[in-house]
Amino acid sequence: MAQKILITGIAGFVGSHLADYLLEKDTNVLIYGTKRWNIERLRNIKHLLDHQRVTLIDCDVTDPIGVRNMISEVMPDKIFHLASESFVSPSWLHPSHYMDVNFNGTVNMLDAIREAGINPRFLIPGTPEEYGDVPENELPIREETILRPVNPYAVSKMAQDYIGYVYFRSYGLNIIRTRAFNHEGPRRDYVFGVPWYAYQIARIEAGKQEPILTHGHIDDRRNFTHVRDLVEAYWLAMEKCEPGEMYLIGNESPEYIHTFREILDMLIKKSTLQGIKMKEDKKLVRPTSLPRLIGDTSKFRKLTGWKAKVPFEKVLDDTLEYWRDFVKNDYY
């Protein structure tokens, strides 16, 4: 019998790549994904809209009735709960909305599972943003590093993680808890740093923007992973990680660790044009920044055998080529 896998947020950056990975990996899976009938952009999954093994269900995770109906209809074997508000900057303006989606949406999913009398493995993808401004003497970040969130988004993800742990302890649900460090690649919206730089370079090359690239704070240091490697890590987490435990996912190899300034310089050097200038835009600078999010992911890697396969250079190349195609074909 085919395994039924539910991906909330399938039309998003990670969700769409995860669907691709699962369909390529296993011919005996049926993919179900949530979409919001009134506002969802489907360009990330346009190649899956007529796929025989993909079913899209209109469902907003903040609607408990809709979630309950979806779970009772699908009765999934595994759930990758990727639907979330993930862009940090608007969270200061809309903190209640971020809690509605990230926390209340998760509660709705977990309650629906209990009501349906099923216990699928349920992956909660957290973020190192939850650790906040980590002092340099506490690096690298480990699972037990103190959480000191400095933005509403991070608080909403902490709440999501902890309510998952509550349902694991209280009701025995198979909750897989992860926090993944920065991941990039095609399909990530240009409101985020790296795609924002690539998008502007593509517009400049196409003659649609003056050769001035705007940015926010760019001296924060991160470890980066290609999204294709990340979705493989999520699958391994689902298969091998212990419910209730916390696992950090990411790649701390030196060649994958950079500041955003370094990445911006590398992307500009890849442009077909010379003379692109950089300019800070105060509107893009967050009220608080996180100078360093560098993790020790050895716990996850030792358990699963996962390691990054895509070279860092290809992370940048794939992102830039995606936005060149986007701008050329006016995909809006």
Q: Which of 5-19, 32-46, 49-63, 278-292 has the lowest mean pLDDT?
A: 32-46
- Segment 243-253 shows an average pLDDT of 96
- Segment 122-131 shows an average pLDDT of 98
pLDDT tens-digit series, residues 205-223: 999 999 999 999 999 999 9
Domain at 3-183+226-249, CATH class: alpha beta
Average pLDDT along the chain: 96
Q: Closest by alpha carbon to 121, among 302, 231, 246, 242?
A: 242
Please give the pLDDT value at position 332.
Answer: 59
Q: Looking at the predicted structure, is the pLDDT value of residue 138 above 90?
A: yes
Q: The domain 188-222+254-293+310-328 belongs to what CATH superfamily?
A: UDP-galactose 4-epimerase, domain 1 (3.90.25.10)
**Cis upstream peptide for 140 (omega within 30°):** yes
The set of residues, in sequence order, having a beta carbon less than 8 Å from that of 32 and lying 6+ positions away, is 4, 5, 6, 7, 54, 55, 56, 57, 74, 76
Task: Locate CATH 3.90.25.10 in the chain.
Answer: 188-222+254-293+310-328
Pull the structure tokens for residue 316.
């940048």
Q: Closest by alpha carbon to 13, among 178, 176, 190?
A: 190
Burial bucket for residue 148 (CB in 10 Å: 0-12, 13-18, 19+) = middle
Q: Closest by alpha carbon to 8, among 87, 115, 97, 102?
A: 102
Complete DSSP assignment for 95-148: HHHHIIIIIIHHHHHHHHHHHHT---EEEEEE-GGGG-S--GGGPSB-TTSPP-
Q: Which of 9-13, 38-42, 238-242, 248-252 has the lowest mean pLDDT?
A: 38-42
d(C-alpha 200, C-alpha 267), whole Å: 10
Pull the structure tokens for residue 121.
């493995």
The set of residues, in sequence order, having a beta carbon less than 8 Å from that of 174 and lying 6+ positions away, is 119, 120, 121, 122, 168, 243
pLDDT band of residue 227 (cuts 50, 70, 90) is: very high
Give, in order, the Cα–Cα distances in Å from 259 to each of 139, 238, 262, 289, 294.
Answer: 16, 30, 5, 13, 11
pLDDT band of residue 331 (cuts 50, 70, 90) is: low
Q: Looking at the predicted structure, is the pLDDT value of residue 40 above 90?
A: no
d(C-alpha 64, C-alpha 70), whole Å: 10
Task: Locate CATH 3.40.50.720 in the chain.
Answer: 3-183+226-249
Please give the pLDDT value at position 67.
Answer: 98
d(C-alpha 105, C-alpha 123), whole Å: 14
pLDDT tens-digit series, residues 67-126: 999 999 999 999 999 999 999 999 999 999 999 999 999 999 999 999 999 999 999 999
Query: Is the distance from CB of 306 to CB of 250 less than 8 angstroms?
Result: no
The set of residues, in sequence order, having a beta carbon less than 8 Å from that of 66 and lying 6+ positions away, is 58, 59, 60
